[in-house]
Amino acid sequence: MRFAAFLLTLVPLMAQEGHPLVGSWRGDWGPNAKDRTDVTFILNYDGKNIVGMINPGPDVAKLQNASLDASNWGVHLEADMKDRSGKLIHFVADGKVEDVTSARRRIVGTWSQGGMKGDFKITRDD
């Protein structure tokens, strides 16, 4: 009987994954297939806004603007972050969530940073 009660408490917990962008995301961006820059996003939802950081560590950047359009799974992310030389550059990433029901869903789209434009792909960690 106790085991059945335990199982019943697990079902709601598994169903409540939360906001689809919450979690740690890793991937890269770049202007072509050879020139890529690794990127890590830590995203959270505070009940009203998508918040987070990019590249945790010494070069951390706070997410300044983020949105999710659930009607088409469109994602918009913006922040000021340091480039490879340490210069602060504004970036904008616009993409779409792919395989939204998977724990390892992806966001794929376009990335612009300073005068550079390219594509990006990040995958949510389990």
Q: Going residue by residue through the chain (126 aa), what tens digit of pLDDT does each one get? A: 553 443 334 333 333 457 999 999 999 999 999 999 999 999 999 999 999 999 888 889 999 999 999 999 999 999 998 877 888 999 999 999 999 999 999 999 999 998 899 999 999 997
Beta strand segments in the chain, E? 23-30, 37-45, 50-54, 61-62, 65-69, 74-82, 88-98, 106-113, 116-124
Query: For the whole model, what pTM was predicted?
Result: 0.82
Structure tokens at 39: 């990127």
- The closest alpha carbon to 111, from 67, 71, 73, 79, belongs to 79
Sign of the alpha-carbon torsion through 88, 93, 98, 103: positive
**Domain layout of the chain by residue ranges:** 19-124
CA dist 118 and 116 (Å) reads: 7
**Count of other CB atoms within 10 angstroms of residue 100:** 11
Give the domain 19-124 fold: Lipocalin (2.40.128)
Residue 31 is classified by DSSP as S
Question: For residues 91 and 49, what is the distance between their CA atoms, to the nearest angstrom?
Answer: 19
